[in-house]
Amino acid sequence: MNLPSNLAKIKDEIRKHAESYQLDFFETIFEIIEFDELNEVASFGGFPTRFPHWRFGMEYEELSRAYSYGLQKIYELVINNDPCYAYLMKCNNLVDQKLVMAHVYAHCDFFKNNLWFAHTNRKMMDEMANHATVIRRYIEKHGEETIEDFIDTCLSLENLIDLHSPYIQRKPEKKTSTLAAEKDSEIKTPIKLKSKFYMDSFINPQEFLDEQKRISEQRRKEKQRKLPEIPERDALQFLIENAPLEKWQAEILSIIREEAFYFAPQGQTKIMNEGWATYWHSKIMTEKCLTDSEVIDYADHHSGTLMTATGRLNPYKLGVELFRDLEERWNKGRFGKEYDDCDDWQVRKNWDKQLGLGQQKVFEVRKLYNDLMFIDEFLTPDFCRDHMLFVYSYNDRTDLYEISDRDFKTVKEKLLFSLTNFGQPFIEVEDANYLNRGELYLVHKHEGVDLKIDEAKDALTNLFKVWTRPVHLETIIDEIKTLLTYDGSEHSEIEID
């Protein structure tokens, strides 16, 4: 439903304010809907036109329940698309609607300008509808269960993508010259050592030459056979290209892959994106929009957004505080060698070079950074201490997660780890013809944290469904290099060196 006239007026007003702060966004379409419709749209990941799947139904069930118990309420929902779509909840009061609009405009600005979103499809609304049409057509053709089962399988593997593949080229272009290929495949005659003719059969014995020839022949074959040539991180793409898939299967897998790539930047910039939106709604509301009678409601709602349950990390809070910290530091010139080297607490505290670079800096950061870089560069020991960040870990004895460290370095490392590859393990396709039997060999690049093994086994089962030959995953369990294998009937776990 379109906005009623009073909200449309407010929208125009907030839009002007946002523009006056140099925010730059796509055209934004607001729709106002009832809570259950909002829950529905949210369950579909923001796309009312999404393909049918029980996972969305599960999401909806949870959201509805949480809403009816009064535990949780979605205020805002905004879709990265051109034009941007944003949903407002009908029963919210006016000040909430204002806040949400201001928040939404900042999100749109982020979508439009942040580099990590540069390769997302801006017509995703239409694309999702197309995906749904394709999937429905296949459901009609192959039956609901078949398709659902395959979608489950694909979703299970959806994180096996290469986040950076839209930006860089990992593989060399395929050689087009057949001549070069031929030359490559020529069997090189083994090099003979210099010798007098009567010594030749001793210095270069025929058996040795034959042996050399055989080895080089074998190497050449191996090289030809090796697939992928270099380990492939975009396992989904690899499967689409190389697994024995029916056309409909390949198409569904492509759809899942495409949607995973579309959503990936949102995972990569959660802290920044929410921080940015919160930074701006706070600024627009307090500097421009609030009327006297709305202040209390606004403060209540705003603090609710920033509330952190003990032991959690609220991306809204962490993000906005980091942006504000950043602004202050660049306004006062608290950066660079001189500041970093200064260890006089008093001087640091009163450090103010009145550079006024804060605004410029925050805009620059919102353009170029993602969460990983953001934390890496701007999380300071002062910030970590002031905001009481800590690391928690699991305690076997008590079956509880406990606070384990407050040291800056540990906190930062942990935080960076949880953001690397948006918190997913790196898994690469190493060999598609393992043991020369067409078996698939994956390698988990272990960086200190084990996989959840029971779940990994289930995922392997799903991988087998796609590959249809035995599948292997090399990983490390409790510091022992282990090969997990699923051969279609049973799982095995073998130590390897």
- Interface positions, 56-95, toward another protein (CB under 8 A): 56-58, 60-62, 65
Give the β-pairing of 491-495 and 480-486: antiparallel
Q: How far is the CB of 301 from another protein (least distance, A)?
A: 20
CA 182 remoteness from chain centre: 42
Q: Is the separation of the CB atoms in 364 and 272 below 8 Å?
A: no
Closer to another protein by Cβ: residue 142 or 220 = 142
Q: Is the separation of the CB atoms in 326 and 334 below 8 Å?
A: no
Three-class SS of residue 407?
Answer: coil
Q: Within positions 325 to 364, which residues make up the interface with another protein, using CB under 8 A?
A: none
Q: How far is the CB of 230 from another protein (least distance, A)?
A: 20
Closer to another protein by Cβ: residue 167 or 401 = 401
Q: Is the separation of the CB atoms in 482 and 494 below 8 Å?
A: yes
With tokens 């040795």, the residue in question is 208
Q: How far is the CB of 71 from another protein (least distance, A)?
A: 11
Cβ atoms within 10 Å of 266's Cβ, excluding its own: 19
Closer to another protein by Cβ: residue 178 or 303 = 303
Give how far Cα 247 sits from Cα of 126, 395, 491, Å: 22, 48, 29
Residue of 392, 438, 439, 483 interacting with another protein (CB under 8 A):
392
Helix or strand holding residue 31 (H, E): strand 28-33
Q: Is the separation of the CB atoms in 418 and 159 below 8 Å?
A: no
Q: Which one-letter amino acid corresponds to residue 308?
A: T
Closer to another protein by Cβ: residue 65 or 188 = 65
Stretch that binds another protein, among 101-109, 225-233, 314-322, 360-368 (CB under 8 A): 314-322
Strand blocks (E) in 58-160:
76-79, 84-89
Separation of alpha carbons 86 and 100, rounded Å: 9
Q: Is the separation of the CB atoms in 267 and 422 below 8 Å?
A: yes
Report the largest interatomic distance among the alpha carbons of the chain, rounded to a whole angstrom.
109
- Sheet with 427-434, strands from edge to edge, namely 427-434, 439-444, 471-477, 480-486, 491-495
Closer to another protein by Cβ: residue 248 or 392 = 392
Residue 274 CA neighbour count, 13 Å, CB half: 19
The contact mask relative to another protein for 413-432 (x = CB under 8 A, - = no) is -xx-xx----xxx-x-----
Residue of 135, 326, 389, 432 interacting with another protein (CB under 8 A):
389
Q: How far is the CB of 410 from another protein (least distance, A)?
A: 9
Q: Is the peptide bond before 228 cis (omega within 30 degrees of 0)?
A: yes
> Is 382 an interacting residue with respect to another protein (CB under 8 A)?
no
> Is 399 an interacting residue with respect to another protein (CB under 8 A)?
yes
Closer to another protein by Cβ: residue 7 or 313 = 313
The contact mask relative to another protein for 154-193 (x = CB under 8 A, - = no) is -xxxxxx---------------------------------
Stretch that binds another protein, among 96-104, 192-200, 250-258, 381-389 (CB under 8 A): 381-389
> Is 439 an interacting residue with respect to another protein (CB under 8 A)?
no
Closer to another protein by Cβ: residue 13 or 158 = 158
Closer to another protein by Cβ: residue 40 or 376 = 40
Q: With left for phi above 0 and alpha for psi between -120 and 50, is residue 476 left, alpha or beta?
A: beta
Residue of 103, 332, 444, 472 interacting with another protein (CB under 8 A):
444
The contact mask relative to another protein for 452-471 (x = CB under 8 A, - = no) is xxxxx-xx--x---------
Q: Within positions 123 to 152, which residues make up the interface with another protein, using CB under 8 A?
A: 148, 152
The set of residues, in sequence order, having a beta carbon less than 8 Å from that of 377 and lying 6+ positions away, is 369
Give how far Cα 168 sits from Cα of 162, 163, 164, 226, 227, Å: 10, 10, 6, 23, 21
Q: How far is the CB of 321 from another protein (least distance, A)?
A: 10
> Is 297 an interacting residue with respect to another protein (CB under 8 A)?
no
Closer to another protein by Cβ: residue 148 or 382 = 148
Q: Within positions 21 to 60, which residues make up the interface with another protein, using CB under 8 A?
A: 36-37, 40, 43-44, 48, 52-58, 60
Closer to another protein by Cβ: residue 392 or 434 = 392
Residue of 67, 378, 390, 408 interacting with another protein (CB under 8 A):
390
